[in-house]
Structure 1
Amino acid sequence: MKITQIYCDVDDFCRTFIPEWQKLQLIQGDKKRQRAPRMSYSEMLSILVYYQESGYRTFKWFYQRLVQVSWREAFPKLLSYNRFIELLPRLLVPLTAFMLSRCGNSQGIAFIDSTPLAVCKNIRIPRHKTFKEQAGRGKSSTGWFYGFKLHLVVNDRGEILSFCITPGNVDDRKPVPKLVKSLIGKLFGDRGYISKKLGKQLAERNIKLVTTLKKNMKNQHIDAFDKLMLRKRSIIETINDQLKNIFDLEHSRHRSLYNYLANVVACLVAYSYQEKKPALDLRDADLLPFLVNA
């Protein structure tokens, strides 16, 4: 992923989005001076996205050792590190909107899953102050954690279709109706999404929810294609693994909620630029009969 490509895409987006967004902002109380930052939104967003796959473990090192040393010609109005961090909350809305513009399209097959985002080790929960009002305790397949959940819906090509972030104690089924607003076809999930009420609700939108069964449930008839797709559901788990291990999605160094959310969304944007995403070859000759009859 090249910084030039990111900047061109972000700049094209910001030329349209930023003026419209600023027109819609509400002003409360006395008029306050809002000095425009020296760097443009396009420049700051490009730096923030590129960091996620740079290999640096902290943004401070990335900014001071790479950006301020090697990129001064590319960014002549470069800000100091402290000023850049102060402006991060302003970047959250345009960054999220940019990610939404990069989401893929539903082709009739989608996979849904959530992944825990721990903000500290369990032994340090009583002393954790940064996300005291927002984070929650939850339990995943690997045990208890304290923090948030990232809910993702992806297609068979590994493209992110929709996403949301919730406290760690929120049921996986709760955000599903909002996540699937623009979906069609079949949605595949694990046992955590079993719900008759949710199934009926999605069926009204012409979405079929297909999940694996719990051990104490009676066997149900499942089409051969659906069985095959349930076995391929690991594609979304692979994506979650890449987000955490390649794009530095989960760590405990955050000291601000806005900066934390900006980091999560920037990870998703960086992933969207990955040339070779986890994907299923559903156009293989052996699978075409199943696709036609699905």
Structure 2
Amino acid sequence: MYRFQLLLGVGTLIEFYFKLIICITIPEEPDDFYQSFEKHCQSLPQLTSFVGEKLCRSRLGLSEVMTIVIAFHGSGYRTFKEFYTLQVLPHWKKAFPQLVSYNRFVELMPWSMMLLCCFLQTCKGEITGISFIDSTPIEVCHPCPSKSHQVFKGLVGWGKNSVGWHYGFKLHLIINDRGELLAFKLTPANTDDRKPVPDLTKDLIGKLFGDRGYISQELFEKLALRYLLWFDRGA
């Protein structure tokens, strides 16, 4: 049961990262990245699917795992199981000759997370001098069973927006005027929107646009010292 819950938890984070990447990548890029960094990545500690488990060799490469899951988020399928069993297995055998069963693929997914984090850093866009910041909630479970939630215990919190209460994380994003990702950070849902701004904007210059939730004289002054001008989108 613990293994199943942990796989679901890791799957939530994997889904978050892949949703970021799906907008800024093409299918060939994960494989190119993995080929370039394969030796280095293999020397780094991997995220295990549960305590004490070691990654077993698989005929399906991790770059292929990354590519398939990225493709899922642009496929229109509601669940990954439907996508893998109805689309990938029957129709993608030519592109992925070494496909594994659905259950085996789910076991491989957590091992791609470290690679995914590294890959995402290579997908960031160019700093153009015009940037936009905003945040969005990422629920880890329905509010009702939140007290019994164990997978992300100590890492998540309660947050509230115009839609209502939610239990989970808050994703903070900065993009440029081309829609390219510049910076991001994942925090508990109860984190003040203004708190991660100094760290997220440390490399930015020019103008930064955000909503009224970021209004703070102290924040304005900190950004001004780095020649970053703040503009309220609601003004």
Q: Same fold (TM over 0.5)?
A: yes
- Superposition deviation, residue 129 in structure 1: 4.2
The 3-state SS of whatever aligns with 2:199 is: helix
Match of 1:171 among 189, 192, 213: 192
> Could you tell me which residue of structure 2 aligns to residue 102 of structure 1?
123
Q: 1:97 to 1:69 in 2, by over 3 A?
A: same
Counterpart CA distance in 1 for 2:207 and 2:26 is 33
> Could you tell me which residue of structure 2 aligns to residue 162 of structure 1?
183
The 3-state SS of whatever aligns with 2:27 is: helix
> Could you tell me which residue of structure 2 aligns to residue 64 of structure 1?
85
AA partner of residue 156 (structure 2): A
> Could you tell me which residue of structure 2 aligns to residue 192 of structure 1?
213
Question: Does the 8 Å CA contact 2:143/2:166 hold for their aligned counterparts?
Answer: yes
What's the TM-score once normalised by structure 2's chain length? 0.78
> Could you tell me which residue of structure 2 aligns to residue 146 of structure 1?
167
Q: Does 1:13 find its partner at 2:38?
A: no
Structure number with larger C-alpha Rg: 1
Counterpart CA distance in 2 for 1:8 and 1:195 is 43
- Superposition deviation, residue 33 in structure 1: 6.5
The 3-state SS of whatever aligns with 1:57 is: coil
Point out which structure has higher relative CO (alpha carbons under 8 A, 6+ apart). 1
Counterpart CA distance in 1 for 2:26 and 2:34 is 12
5+ residue gaps, structure 1? 27-31, 212-229, 234-294
- Superposition deviation, residue 24 in structure 1: 4.2
- Superposition deviation, residue 153 in structure 1: 0.4
Question: Does the 8 Å CA contact 2:65/2:108 hold for their aligned counterparts?
Answer: no
> Could you tell me which residue of structure 1 aligns to residue 74 of structure 2?
53
Counterpart CA distance in 2 for 1:70 and 1:118 is 33
Counterpart CA distance in 2 for 1:203 and 1:16 is 39
> Could you tell me which residue of structure 2 aligns to residue 23 of structure 1?
43
Counterpart CA distance in 1 for 2:55 and 2:148 is 36
- Superposition deviation, residue 97 in structure 1: 1.9
Question: Does the 8 Å CA contact 1:18/1:94 hold for their aligned counterparts?
Answer: no
- Residues 1-294 of structure 1 mapped to structure 2, 5 A cutoff: 6-25=26-45, 34-211=55-232, 230=233
Counterpart CA distance in 1 for 2:100 and 2:202 is 40
Percent of counterpart pairs with the same letter? 48
- Superposition deviation, residue 127 in structure 1: 4.4
AA partner of residue 132 (structure 2): F
Aligned length: 206
Q: 1:143 to 1:34 in 2, by over 3 A?
A: closer
AA partner of residue 48 (structure 1): V
AA partner of residue 60 (structure 1): K
Counterpart CA distance in 2 for 1:6 and 1:19 is 23
Counterpart CA distance in 1 for 2:225 and 2:35 is 39
Q: Deviations over 1:122-142 (max 9, x none)?
A: 334334444343321011122
What's the TM-score once normalised by structure 1's chain length? 0.64
Q: Deviations over 1:169-193 (max 9, x none)?
A: 1111121122112211111111211
AA partner of residue 67 (structure 2): S
Counterpart CA distance in 2 for 1:19 and 1:11 is 14
Counterpart CA distance in 1 for 2:180 and 2:34 is 22
Query: Aligned Cα RMSD in Å?
Result: 2.4
Counterpart CA distance in 1 for 2:27 and 2:135 is 30
Counterpart CA distance in 1 for 2:141 and 2:102 is 25
Q: 1:115 to 1:175 in 2, by over 3 A?
A: same
Question: Does the 8 Å CA contact 1:7/1:43 hold for their aligned counterparts?
Answer: no
